[in-house]
Structure 1
Amino acid sequence: MEKAAFFSDRIKQIFTYERVFLLIFLLAIILRFWHPDLKLFHHDEAIHSWFSFNLLTKGSWVYDPSYHGPFLYYVTAGMFSLFGASDLVARLLPALFGTLLVPLVYFIYRLGYITRAQTLIIALFLAISPDMVYFSRFLRHDIFMLFFTMLLLVAILYYFERGQLRYVIIAAIAAGGALCCKEEMPFILLIFITFFGFAIWRKRINLPPQWKNDLIIGLLIIIGILITLYSAFGMHPETLVGQNFQINSTGWYQAIDHWVAMSNEQRLGGPFYFYVPLYLLYEVPIFLLAILGTLQFIFEDFNLILTGKRVKNWLSVRQFKLSINDLALTSKTQLKSAKVVDHKSDLFFQLCIYWMILTMAFYAYVGEKVPWLIIHQLLPMCFVAVYKLNWQKAAFALIGCLFLILMTWHVAFISADINEPIVQVQNSEDLRQVMGIIDNSSQVVLASEDYWPLPWYYRGDQWDKITFYGQKEDINVLTKNSPGVIILHDTESYDTIPGYNKTTYKLDYWFSFYDNQDRLLDYYFHRDGTMGSINLDVFTMHR
């Protein structure tokens, strides 16, 4: 017994709360920075990098709502200027911003809104979630916007606690940065404004005396950031004021007009429950715990709000949450302190549930359904998943993390083409062979309307050896200069071209629901079956 007690005490001494949190943070770093260029660029990543490269080399960038806000392009161009343009360099900042989500959880804990146990599980979820890891290794605007959203929340909470201008400045930088990422950020801001506004009105939150002055300073910082970046540092003022001061040519009007049209068109459409199967594929433990937490709120805390009566005794449901090493509350002083923590915890988790439900409803309604939008819903869901945490939930969460790790390994660290909805339209690993063929040829003809990511991989003067046609041409046009390689779309190609060998390669690929709809359960466990793809016919000259 003494040896067992000594061993237990020794384990507690080694694995302190702070050390466990640092281990989780280290795991997040490894999962995001280990071989970030393992997979070829996604179609959109290639476009974003190409625009960033042009910004660096030509100084050209003009806001186009189709490609979202300026933040990604400026910071990526900055990285290219420092370290050179490559897939690896392009993905370093997404990895960094995705990693920094984890320590931001710690700052919420320091304010007393969540307990140690909750903090560790939330951090672990964010560190190993397949979607969080995958899209932290992915050059899109979403991971930047997600980081700024989290930073904004932390800064708001600290301002309400401490009333210092520094937190207003941080919040304003976060809000301005997020608004320079994607066009749906105003909706996220509306969620925070309505929740905290209601909490202030109900006197659940007290504002410091100088809040009006702080608000003006914060708004000026946000406006300054937006003006600077959206005008391309003053080079394109028409984005702000429109051509000839016409409102319908301003950037904000174009953004609304474009994305409303895209939502109505449903170019990349899907049913309102589009994201639910993705949660069941990749985030099962988080999703199930979040559902349970929401139901607990509806039947317990929401009942308290309506009736003033709590279904369960507050102490019994929160004993596990108060401390890992000291679960017992014995003195009146401790009980009073616990009630303060209880009030703060209630307020915070009400925000998270409100945030989660509204973002899920928003993205269910929006016509554009793409897998990377899931992370904006997943962030508040990770918090809701630990609501009213007890040892049973904690055990389920830790066991569920094994599933998350396996899925993260599968989607992020296998270099082969994978039949997964998370990849949307991913460039195929077959392209490595195609690019090897191009590299070994002095003259290439490309006659296809589908050709990305080749402009990125053959940027600058590397493109000089490529003769580009955006569509199929006659054989005599394609072969007039005897190119070593001719590339066509396989549906607009030739059975043969005299003097050339033909091989078909995948350009990009995606999970095909229609080819797997009769075997969904089998697919769920094996993740195999037919994939959709766009293919290229590559004709190489006889040697």
Structure 2
Amino acid sequence: MSGTSAAGFAIRIQKSLSFERLFFFIFVLAAVLRFAFLDLKLFHHDEAIHAWFSYKLLTEGTYIYDPSYHGPLLYYVTAGMFALFGDSDLVGRLVPAFLGTMVVALVYPLYRLGYLDRMQALVAALFLAISPNMVYFSRFLRNDIFILFLTFVLLLALILYFERGQVRYAVLAGLAAGLGISSKENMPIVLGIFAAYILYLLWTQKVKLPKRWIRDFVLGVLVMGGVIAVLYSSFGANPERVLTWVPDAIGHWWAMHEQERLGGPFFFYIIFFLLYELPIFALAIVGTAQFIQKGRKKAETAVQSLHEVVETSLAQVNGHVPVPVAADPPFDKKEEFFRFCIVWMVLSLVAYAYIGEKVPWLIVHQLLPLIFVATYAMTKKKAVIAVVSSIFLVLALWHVAYVPADVNEPIVQVQNSEDMREVMALIDASNATAIASDRYWPLPWYYRGERAEKLSYYGRKIEESNFRDGKFDVVIASDQDSYDSLPGFEKKTYNLNYWFSWYDNKDRLLQYYFLRDGKMGNMKLDVFTRNVTSA
């Protein structure tokens, strides 16, 4: 190949790898990772409960806010999806997958507004697309991906409002805030951080309020309040909840914080970053250090300039020469955006470290600002490091999201075991099944409607005499309160759900880190199946 043709080939390659095409490719990758094999695994314990309440809302029209199960938005949206496409695991996860994909897409307007350069936008989008936690919880029927998407929308709405001063962006901000508060009780953390930084920007006069800001603020608050009132009152069916949901939410979650029902050390989420998001976490530390170092250099330069101005001014005053007035340095919105992201990241880390309830899905609220900080001063060298190190993210992602088996991962908390597929096959083959235990989720979800007639829930261990008349072909009990045997039945033990067991792996942490194996924590069920040959 001649030098001329080689140069032409290189130019064609460069044109084909334009920013827009690369970004679109990352967006498609994010969509594939979120939508592919969406019902590969059984519903998580919480997913089954959320889907069940949504199904009840659709079929019976019954819903009332309970802080134990978070805000109403998820239930109305999921019930709507069930009405349109049918009730199933896959349909239940469609909206989370869509919102998780759109979180990646929202990086583009942030770039177009000038807060990220091309390299930063591509790396941020890539990290959001393949982050194990981002993908896993985008394939998960929980409220957190709703909050994350609405947080990003709120951020863009506020940026646009302060740049353009148009009322529609104040309304959009109010809508995002109202829907966020209607999703989960941690949205006020986001609102508090955003509000504090806006006050800082106003106090330092880095931004100014538009002329009609009072009108716009009132409209935004009215929209936010209206959304909250409609959703928490169940569209007017329970108007008293408009007044009671706030004290109920505060009372319940403060009790959970003090109780530490699902507790952990203050560095709980740092462990998750090291397990799943190591390249992002490392680059965020480097980005923070670079920002601080750059700030120090600016301060030193400013001090030096001040000395020079003072010396010049004294000389000019003594010589009766007019003193020039130094112009204010121009406002660098990229630098200010990264300062905000560092503050957002640090305050989020502190808030969730303090909160007593430590659960895997809360990491995504800390991960979003951390990803932006990781892209600070994104040189070509750092970009290459980011892309190459993403192999770590892909390997972790594959194991937690696409292995069709029980996996020993802390990100997976009380996930229903794949063993339950075999248990449900036994139930399907039976005429009637007795559930002699208080451990039975996700069975109410998987046996809903007409299928529910097969199951009799007793909520506890009952007398063996109940199974002698031949009514039940299958009896299910907790292994913690079971029967040694039942006449005419064969007994087999199955995993109901599973989780990472710290106590069983704490002496082999280095080995576990690389192999992700070892003993898991479990709840188990004893399943008694009628022996047809002995009948």
TM-score by structure 2 length?
0.93
Cα separation, 1, equivalents of 2:182 and 2:329: 37
Q: 2:273 aligns with which of 260, 273, 279?
A: 279
Number of positions where the alignment pairs a residue of Structure 1 with one of Structure 2: 508
| Amino acid aligned to 2:94 | L
Q: Say what the alpha-carbon RMSD is for the aligned residues.
A: 1.7
1:168 aligns with 2:170: yes
1:251 aligns with 2:245: yes
Residue 257 of structure 2 corresponds to 263
The answer to whether the 8 Å contact 1:285/1:401 transfers is: yes
Residue 293 (structure 1) shift: 1.1
Is 1:361 the equivalent of 2:363? no
* Aligned equivalents of 1:478, 1:141: Cα separation in 2: 41
**CA offset at residue 286 of structure 1?**
0.4
Match of 1:508 in 2: 497
The CA distance in 2 between the partners of 1:429 and 1:144, in whole Å, is 27
User: What is the CA-CA distance between 1:21 and the residue it aligns to?
Assistant: 0.4
Q: Distance in 2 between matches of 1:486 and 1:20?
A: 55
Select 2:396's aligned residue among 407, 410, 427.
407
> Match for 1:125 among 124, 127, 130?
127
Q: CA offsets per residue over residues 45-87 of structure 1, 9 Å max, x none?
A: 0000000000111111111111110000000000001111100
Q: Is the 8 A contact 2:19 2:118 kept in 1?
A: yes
Deviation at 1:169, TM superposition (A): 1.7
- AA aligned to 2:163 is E
1:31-180 → structure 2 map (5 Å cutoff): 31-180=33-182
Residue 67 of structure 2 aligns to which amino acid in structure 1? P
**What pairs up with 1:219-238 in 2 under 5 angstroms?**
219-238=221-240
Match of 1:368, SS state, is coil
Alignment pair present for 1:299 and 2:293: yes
* CA displacement at 1:462 relative to structure 2: 1.4
Aligned partners of 1:490 and 1:536 also within 8 Å: yes
CA distance in 2, matches of 1:466, 1:307: 75
Contact 2:206 2:331 in 1 (8 A): no
1:134–1:306: structure 2 CA closer, same or farther, 3 Å change rule?
farther
Moved more, 465-474 or 172-181: 465-474
In structure 2, the residue matched to 1:327 is: none
Partner letter of residue 392 of structure 2?
F
Does the Cα contact within 8 Å between 1:62 and 1:232 map onto a contact in 2? yes
Contact between 2:490 and 2:530, CA under 8 Å: does it hold in 1? yes
The answer to whether the 8 Å contact 2:430/2:473 transfers is: yes
The answer as to whether partners of 1:500 and 1:539 remain within 8 angstroms in 2 is yes
Matches of 1:479 and 1:532 in 2, distance apart? 34
- Indicate conservation of the 8 Å contact 2:30/2:101, yes or no: yes
Q: Deviations over 1:358-381 (max 9, x none)?
A: 011000000000000000000000
Q: Output the amino acid matched with 2:248.
A: Q
Shift of 1:386: 0.7
Residue 530 of structure 2 aligns to which amino acid in structure 1? Answer: M
- Asked whether the 8 Å contact 1:303–1:309 carries over to 2, the reply is no
- What is the alpha-carbon distance in structure 2 between the residues aligned to residue 206 and residue 436 of structure 1? 64
1:494 is the counterpart of 2:483? yes
Q: Deviations over 1:365-411 (max 9, x none)?
A: 00000000000000000100011111221111111111111111111
Q: State the distance in 2 between where 1:479 and 1:11 align.
A: 76
Unpaired runs of 5+ residues, structure 2, are: 305-327
Counterpart CA distance in 1 for 2:456 and 2:330 is 67
For the structure 1 residues 150 and 434, does the alpha-carbon distance in structure 2 shift closer, same or farther, using more than 3 Å as the test? same
Over 3 Å counting, the alpha-carbon distance change for 1:414 and 1:342 in structure 2 is farther
Aligned to 1:334: none
Q: Is the 8 A contact 2:500 2:520 kept in 1?
A: yes
Take 2:89 and 2:467, find their aligned partners in 1: how far apart are those partners? 31
Q: Distance in 2 between matches of 1:388 and 1:67?
A: 41
Question: What residue in structure 1 maps to residue 325 of structure 2?
Answer: none
Work out which of the residue numbers 358, 382, 392 in structure 2 matches 1:393. 382
- On the 8 A contact 1:112/1:341 being kept in 2, the answer is no
3-state SS of the aligned residue for 1:432?
helix
The aligned residue for residue 197 of structure 1 is 199
Q: Which residue of 2 aligns with 1:447?
A: 436
* Matching of residue 346 in structure 1 with residue 340 in structure 2: no
| Aligned AA (1:269) | G
Larger Rg: 2
Q: TM-score, normalised by structure 1?
A: 0.91
- The code of the aligned residue for 1:282 comes to Y
1:467 counterpart (456, 463, 473):
456
Give the drift of 1:198.
1.0
Cα distance, 1:306 vs structure 2? 8.9
Question: Sequence identity of aligned pairs in percent?
Answer: 55
Inter-partner Cα distance in structure 1 for 2:86 and 2:275: 37
Residues 113 and 341, structure 1, Cα contact 8 Å, conserved in 2? no
Which residue, 9, 12, 15 being the options, matches 1:13?
15
Query: Where does structure 1 lack aligned partners over 5 or more consecutive residues?
Result: 242-249, 311-338
Partner residue in 2 for 1:326: none
Tell me, in whole angstroms, the C-alpha distance in 1 between the residues paired with 2:222 and 2:97. 30
Q: CA deviation at 1:206?
A: 2.2
Rounded to whole Å, the distance in 1 between the matches of 2:330 and 2:92 is 42
- Cα distance in 2 for partners of 1:219, 1:138 equals 31
1:274 deviates by 0.4
Deviation of residue 143 (structure 1)? 0.3
Is 1:378 the counterpart of 2:372 in the alignment?
no
Deviation, 1:175, is 0.7
